[in-house]
Amino acid sequence: MYQLNQVSKVFGGRTIAVDDLDLKVRRGEKLALIGPSGAGKTTLFRMLNLTIPPTSGTLLFDALNVSSLHGRRLREVRRRIGTVYQQHNLVPRLQVVHNVLSGRLGAWSIWRSVRSLIRPQEADLAYEALSQVGIPEKLYDRTETLSGGQQQRVAIARALVQNPEVILADEPVSSVDPALAAGIVKLLIELSETYRKTLIMNLHSVDLALAHFPRIIGLRDGKISFDLPAAEVTDEHLAVLYAGSQTEIGEEVPSLAELRPVRSCQPRLTT
Residue boundaries of the structural domains of the chain: 2-80+164-264, 93-101+109-161
The answer to whether the CB of 1 falls within 8 A of the CB of 164 is: no
Query: Where are the strands (E) in the chain, listed by range?
Result: 2-11, 15-25, 30-34, 56-61, 64-65, 81-84, 166-170, 198-202, 215-220, 223-229
Which residue, among 175, 178, 234, has the nearest Cα to 208 in the 3D structure?
A: 178
CATH hierarchy code of domain 2-80+164-264: 3.40.50.300
The answer to whether the CB of 35 falls within 8 A of the CB of 51 is: no
pLDDT (0 to 100) of residue 258: 46
Identity (one letter) of the amino acid at 33?
Answer: L
Residue ranges in the chain modelled with pLDDT below 50: 247-252, 254-271
Other beta carbons less than 10 A from residue 157's beta carbon? 31
Residue-level length of the chain: 271
224 strand-pairing partners: 219
Cα–Cα distance, 247 to 128 (Å, whole number): 37
